[in-house]
Chain A
């Protein structure tokens, strides 16, 4: 640990911390643009200048250094005993001396030389570092009278637009493409004050390569100004009108930490949230843009039952009564517990699956428990990021919880479909984006007498069902997901489910109650407590302990 004098504070920081981070840890803002904790540090924006103090032998005193230093590249380390300042400090630095404040004002004036005053129509307004730092650290007026450069607006790729006029050439996006995605599509063209970010183009301006790697959306997040803009979010909403909730991306089994931004009428965007051991500062575009199914107009809003071969909307009581009748009524004598297969979802939370497994074990008395989920995609590896092939957020958790709690064996793949083909009643929980069925899967499901499906969108699966119960997506419920590396992380309810759709574990519990089961959970956290008690390894995974950081399974 290095002992630092930071303004008036005496603080200890880890060796190797830079001044910007050290100040941030102690609530002091050192404005910066080019510095990003996840990227290399060129120190080109000059915004984070701070005033280090040095020992000046002729005066025999500690004085401000002749030059200001960039906070991002000034690394704090323990000094040898004979080099301590004042006999105890490893470093003395001022972040708000008059000299520093003057420097910031002047740098901002330079950065704003070619910047247009188009905040009223700029997507970034409200979450713009240039806006914020100008307000807090800048001049109140510009002395620049010359004509401003007006470089053109450019289309860089499938989801990214560049408003070149707003760019302050911090080069974060270029470094991201060089270092994190490793694809190097971005660079600077021209020179000096004519510098522009661009993709490779021929002399006529037609693109030779597009910014179309699967991490491209991150350049929009790290852009400190409104230069790089996501087409998906363009002109959709002002940032301050959206509510923000910490959640987990449901796009694959990596489990990237995200901030889900939403209004009453739906999800507006997903932004990555830092987690040092899982996703760092990043997320992929598949996850980022994969939320649209949540807002879809096709979402299942009412339970459906099959009448004369057609799926027809009905009400909850009717739908649940139908299932109860099948399992308790006159025909029920034909259905033995081993004729029933209950299939949990890798899209569902640990809580959903725990209630489902309790339902299977305690109420239906069946040991036939399976696991269903999205079809696997492709794995993509980048220098500093991996997108996993398993497109479910909770395969690991669902597998453990469906299986471990009561010693059941969880059926998957061919074994599952073989078993399904011979079953009379199948209770299948799906969820997530529309899931196409493979030939063997639909053949097996077609053979089932009575198929109950919980899902969020009409799909191949619901097409084969006798009763469809509308469930919820990751944006509409509380719970936990377990990612592929064993991190249990929380998702939170943001928007209301459409129509009469209900949280999956509530549906299962309601049905269990009607069938005489004894289950009485009121909220997801309560189920998590039961999981912590009964599932090996999940002892620490209560909602309270999981929090925003997650808990790693032991």
Chain B
């Protein structure tokens, strides 16, 4: 029976800086609910992932039901519902990248980071034990002309080979 509800104990709140950012966002939309995506991105930037506390906070901010937020969070694969590594590595595996050997890149990353590929509902599977990297496969990153590509957090890296991947990873902090 599910008559026991999980209580959300650790509350979430925007930092002062993010709160200002959020207030700025509000001016851009005719209704509060419309600001859902940027607000969630902002919250994910601060917290690292969308926890139940974040969902509740966003629901209260935007005056929508908790389920509306959960709905959006599960719809979009770029929102994480569990903690991820400091660097999220998204490897494109759609056709053009596949033809240009994204598999080699992916296998190289797997060996180098010593981790598996994350599943949509199990991000921990693709996260390194030191919590630095999360490795996941994604659909088209819209850069087929420079395939194969990966995205590390917000940066796109093109025309990859295992050597280039090494170089990029070495340059990360």
Contacts and interface: CB of A to CB of B under 8 A. Distances in A.
A236 interface: no
B29 interface: no
Contacts of B1: 155
A186 interface: yes
Interface string B77-116: 0000110000000000000000000000000000000000
Residue among A185, A187, A188 with the most chain B CB within 10 A? A187
Contacts of B74: 189-191
B68 A209 contact: no
Nearest to A191: B75
B67 A199 contact: yes
Interface residues of A, number: 26
Contact of B71 (A155, A187, A206): A187
Interface residues of B, number: 22
Given A189-B70, A191-B75, A201-B70, A206 B65 contact: no
Residue among A158, A190, A201 with the most chain B CB within 10 A? A201
A207 B70 contact: no
Interface in B43-64: 52, 55-56, 64
A187 B1 CA distance: 20
B18 to A, nearest CB: 22
Contacts of A191: 74-75
A210 interface: yes
A203 B73 CA distance: 11
Contact of B6 (A155, A158, A185, A207): A207
Contacts of B66: 184, 200, 208-209
Contacts of B172: none
Given A187-B68, A190-B75, A203-B81, A209 B3 contact: no
A554 interface: no
Interface in A206-221: 206-210
A209 B75 contact: no
B3 A158 contact: yes
B2 A187 contact: no
Contacts of A184: 64-68
A188 B73 CA distance: 10
B67 A200 contact: yes
Contact of A208 (B3, B52, B64, B75): B52
A209 B2 contact: no
A117 B87 CA distance: 45
Contacts of B31: none
Contacts of A203: 81-82
Contacts of B56: 208
Interface in B1-31: 1-6, 8
A202 interface: yes
Contacts of A156: 2
B6 A187 contact: no
Contacts of B64: 184
A210 B5 contact: yes
Contacts of A155: 1-2
A200 B3 contact: no
Contact of B5 (A178, A183, A198, A208): A208
Contact of A187 (B3, B4, B52, B70): B70
B75 to A, nearest CB: 5
B80 to A, nearest CB: 9
Given A157-B2, A202-B52, A208-B56, 9 more contacts: A156-B2, A184-B66, A187-B70, A189-B70, A200-B52, A203-B81, A206-B6, A207-B5, A208-B8
- List 6 tightest A-B contacts by C-beta distance, closest first: A184-B65, A187-B67, A187-B71, A155-B2, A189-B74, A203-B81
18 contacts: A156-B2, A158-B3, A178-B65, A184-B67, A185-B65, A187-B65, A187-B67, A187-B71, A188-B75, A200-B52, A200-B66, A201-B70, A202-B6, A207-B4, A207-B5, A208-B52, A208-B55, A209-B5
